[in-house]
Amino acid sequence: MNPHRTDLRHTARQRCKGTALLTVLFTLILALCTGFAVRPAHAEEPDTTTNTDQAAKPGVSITVNSMTPVITPSSGYKLNLTVTNNTDADVDHGSIDALTNFTYNFISRTDLQEWAEGRGQIPLPDLLVTLHVPRIAAHKSVTVNSSLPASEQILKQFNSWGPRPLALDYRSDDGAQTSTLHSFVTRSQDGLQGERTPQLHMTMLMPLTAGDWSLDETTLKALRADRSAKTHASAIAALDSKSAEALRAKDQLMQRFPHVQTLADPQALATLQTPHTQALMQPADFDITRYSYAGNANGYVNAGVPLSSWASSSSVQTLRTVLNDGTAERPVYAMQGVGAWNTEALDTARMQGYDTVIATHDFDDQDDTAAHTGVYRVPTAHGDVTVMATHPMLSQLAAGQATSQQAQAETNTAGRLQRFIAQSAFYQMEQPYQNRCLLVSFGPDSSAANVSTFMGALQEASWLDLTDLETLRASEPYMSGDDAAAAADTTTVDPAVYDTATLNTTLTTLAHTRRDLQHFNTSVLLADGSMPGDSAAQAGDANNTKPGNGDANDTGDANDNATSDDSGDALGALQWSNRWLQAHDELALLSLNANTARSSALTVATQAMVDYLRQGIGLTNPTNVNVVSESASLPVTVTNSLPYPISLRISSRTDSMEIVTSRFVDVNVPPNSEAPATLEIRVSTSGTTVANQELVNHEGVPLSGIHTTTITSSLQISDKSGIVFIIIAVLLGIVGLWRQFHRKKDPDE
């Protein structure tokens, strides 16, 4: 109870008596003069000459921290506000009057929107409560609150149910500062006399998915370092502790609010371990609409994302793996991506096993018509698809977005909740005897606190019947057949939304990184796990067991193909190499979801994965080599930290034609070991050159960075002293010949 409650009650009664008479007087006068009604004189309209910046940020602003969303016979009325001084000077003491109109009924959704934006002109003769505001220092805030018990007489003035306008009028005692915030207050049907109309059915959907997946360094190291089948490829992507905890907090809401309908991303189930979910979405929230628009099926397959990876059956299989229950079942619905659910996209979804999809935008604009059931039956080439379209405005509010920038009270959860409650009550009153079911979706980034606040309030909304997804799906469709197909194709989305240029770049990068892994597996790793010359290597054709032949459908967990050794927990070389491809494809699938911001980071992660695998082999070489003869040796060492043997080549080049090395040398290295190799050096002159060595596979694809060795030749055959020796030898030869022809012969010769 507010310490000033006794004064407030007295003030409320006095103001109500005086205000009622004044209101009648003012209303009659203004009706004759201008045709508009006004609030009491103390609630002045802001100066129309105020510039845009000042209007957006007045001298004193009011924020609703919390407010009783639904008034019932037992709820009372609580109000908690923050008042902020945005000026450079202190603001005097003041007060806030919470004003309403007990008998006013909104006549249209435009009426509601204008009031929310501060443009509506509605008489507010009824004072709920006055809150006293202390002095506020410059650029500081104060919090004020009030709590009226359910027995308060002023609350009994709500003698009919429905939404009512609410204005929070602030005035400093010296009159220097005023501010008004428009919101709503809603009375439930409970405790009131009169006939109750049928409830408005509503399904509250909570997508359970995450957007900040990243490469898990621990899993990456385990993939390279050991042969254990316990390391699963699916663990290559992970969430940080904050994101994982946010997922768990939302998952636990099912126990408090059984009516909230959880639609879980299968990739998030492993993080939750014991998921509470009524339904599943497509794996990794894969963007089916963009896939359909791109028309590049081969590009997806080459990137490691075949059709099987995002089929509805894949979602169910993931659920069974997480729950360790081979018979677990949940309905699977396809969530909308960045594009539109036109008939082509719906046919693609149907082909993949999704007979029901969720449309979150650009399908059913109910803001222009009376609220109706958002269910459509659309025929496609592969069968009918049920489209369950979310209500735009209610979903916008539930997802944490204001209905407009001018709706100042909707900048936080409390203000948006007041509007949501009022809007839903208006929809029920708009067509009280029409059987309708609305789908409302929280945003994928909605916090557990936001969802909890809304669900707690909706439980008190007597005009609402909270239903499940299956009930919604079974509802009489608003439109079906050719009419529904025409409605689906009427929606047009700017092609820029699909961003095909970025998509193609992503697919190309993923295809390259996957091809690099395939090359490593086929041209470096000895897939049968044996060294050349071993009897095991001759047991069969190794080409038939090597992974990476372009079949992107090999996306199952490597554990399924594990071969056992004495420990019963080891992979064969083929399964080990396949697991790298599966890990790559896991990242590729996550990078092709509806959130383009995630794709770039995860695409880069696939390249980091390839680089890390290659770092498992290395080359050690001398920095300098001195040569004093025409031939010499350059010793190098190849290291292999992988758990399987490898076969590769050392490539070497020099920048000189007189000092050269062997072009290629083949090397086989046992697992977790090293092997020496020798490069032959040939020298035809003295001098210095640099030899560049790198590791390549047998197809010539580089596997490591370039290592350099400086080769210095001291061979003297071509220097000046050598030339002198040659000249002397020639002269001696000439002298010898001259003597041979000019010497005197002996008589007996």
Going by the DSSP 8-state scheme, the letter that residue 553 receives in this structure is: T
Angstrom distance (rounded) from CA 115 to CA 350:
44
Q: For 529-542, what is the mean pLDDT? A: 46
Residue 703 pLDDT greater than 60, yes or no = yes
Are 412 and 63 within 8 A, CB to CB?
A: yes
| CB atoms closer than 10 angstroms to residue 30 | 15
Residue 440 pLDDT greater than 80, yes or no = yes
Token readout for 9 is 């009650």
Beta carbons within 8 Å of 103's beta carbon, 6+ residues apart: 160
Helix or strand (DSSP H, E) at 353: none
Question: In percent, how much of the chain has pLDDT > 90?
Answer: 63
Closest by CA position to 634, among listed 522, 742, 537, 713: 713
Residue 12 pLDDT greater than 50, yes or no = no
Angstrom distance (rounded) from CA 359 to CA 379:
16
Beta carbons within 8 Å of 74's beta carbon, 6+ residues apart: 150
pTM score: 0.81
**303 bridge partner residues:** none
For CA atoms 247, 253, 258, 260, give the dihedral sign.
negative
| Mean pLDDT over each residue of the chain, to the nearest integer | 84
Q: Which residue has the tokens 């044996």?
A: 530
Angstrom distance (rounded) from CA 87 to CA 712:
77
Strands, E assignment, 192-248: 200-208, 214-215, 237-238
Token readout for 419 is 């509007």
Provide the pLDDT for residue 559: 38
User: Any idea of the CA torsion for 281, 287, 290, 296, to the nearest 10 degrees?
Assistant: -110
pLDDT band at residue 526 using 50, 70 and 90 as cut-offs: confident
Provide the pLDDT for residue 597: 61
Question: What SS3 class is residue 627?
Answer: strand
* Strand arrangement of the beta sheet that strand 70-71 belongs to: 70-71, 178-187, 162-172, 94-100, 126-133
Q: What angle do CA 192, 194, 196 make, to 5 degrees?
A: 95
Token readout for 81 is 């506000």
**702 bridge partner residues:** 696
Angstrom distance (rounded) from CA 686 to CA 670:
38
Residue 18 pLDDT greater than 60, yes or no = no
Per DSSP, helices labelled H in 156-287 are 217-225, 241-256, 266-272
For CA atoms 308, 310, 311, 316, give the dihedral sign.
positive
Helix or strand (DSSP H, E) at 377: strand 375-378
Question: What SS3 class is residue 41?
Answer: coil
Are 163 and 390 within 8 A, CB to CB?
A: no
Lowest mean pLDDT among 225-239, 294-308, 361-375, 679-693: 361-375
Are 543 and 590 within 8 A, CB to CB?
A: no
Beta carbons within 8 Å of 241's beta carbon, 6+ residues apart: none
**How remote is the C-alpha of 568 from its chain's centroid?**
38
| CB atoms closer than 10 angstroms to residue 261 | 26
Token readout for 184 is 């709503």
Residue 43 pLDDT greater than 50, yes or no = no
Q: What angle, rounded to 10 degrees, do the helices at 413-430 and 109-116 form?
A: 160
Q: Which burial class, exposed, middle or buried, applies to 226 when counting CB atoms under 10 A from its CB (0-12, 13-18, 19+)?
A: middle
Are 634 and 681 within 8 A, CB to CB?
A: yes
pLDDT band at residue 16 using 50, 70 and 90 as cut-offs: very low
User: Any idea of the CA torsion for 477, 478, 482, 488, to the nearest 10 degrees?
Assistant: -110
Q: For 383-396, what is the mean pLDDT? A: 96
Q: For 99-127, what is the mean pLDDT? A: 94
Q: For 45-67, what is the mean pLDDT? A: 63
Going by the DSSP 8-state scheme, the letter that residue 485 receives in this structure is: H
For CA atoms 43, 45, 50, 56, give the dihedral sign.
positive
Provide the pLDDT for residue 540: 38
pLDDT band at residue 120 using 50, 70 and 90 as cut-offs: confident
Token readout for 150 is 């359910």
**How remote is the C-alpha of 729 from its chain's centroid?**
84
How long, in residues, is the chain?
Answer: 749
Residue 72 pLDDT greater than 60, yes or no = yes
Closest by CA position to 590, among listed 606, 612, 576, 607: 606
Provide the pLDDT for residue 336: 95
User: Any idea of the CA torsion for 359, 362, 363, 369, to the nearest 10 degrees?
Assistant: 120
Strands, E assignment, 403-554: 437-441, 464-466, 479-480
Angstrom distance (rounded) from CA 614 to CA 363:
48
Residue 716 pLDDT greater than 90, yes or no = no
For CA atoms 724, 725, 727, 732, give the dihedral sign.
positive
Angstrom distance (rounded) from CA 661 to CA 688:
13
Q: For 537-545, what is the mean pLDDT? A: 37
Q: What angle do CA 294, 300, 301 make, to 5 degrees?
A: 140
Question: Which one has a higher pLDDT value, 98 or 270?
Answer: 98
Closest by CA position to 144, among listed 154, 156, 153, 136: 136
Per DSSP, helices labelled H in 3-92 are 5-33, 52-56
Q: For 41-55, what is the mean pLDDT? A: 36
Residue 53 pLDDT greater than 50, yes or no = no
Angstrom distance (rounded) from CA 305 to CA 310:
8
Are 409 and 418 within 8 A, CB to CB?
A: yes
Q: For 733-737, what is the mean pLDDT? A: 83
Provide the pLDDT for residue 28: 36
For CA atoms 252, 464, 425, 427, give the dihedral sign.
positive
Provide the pLDDT for residue 719: 52
Beta carbons within 8 Å of 149's beta carbon, 6+ residues apart: 1, 76
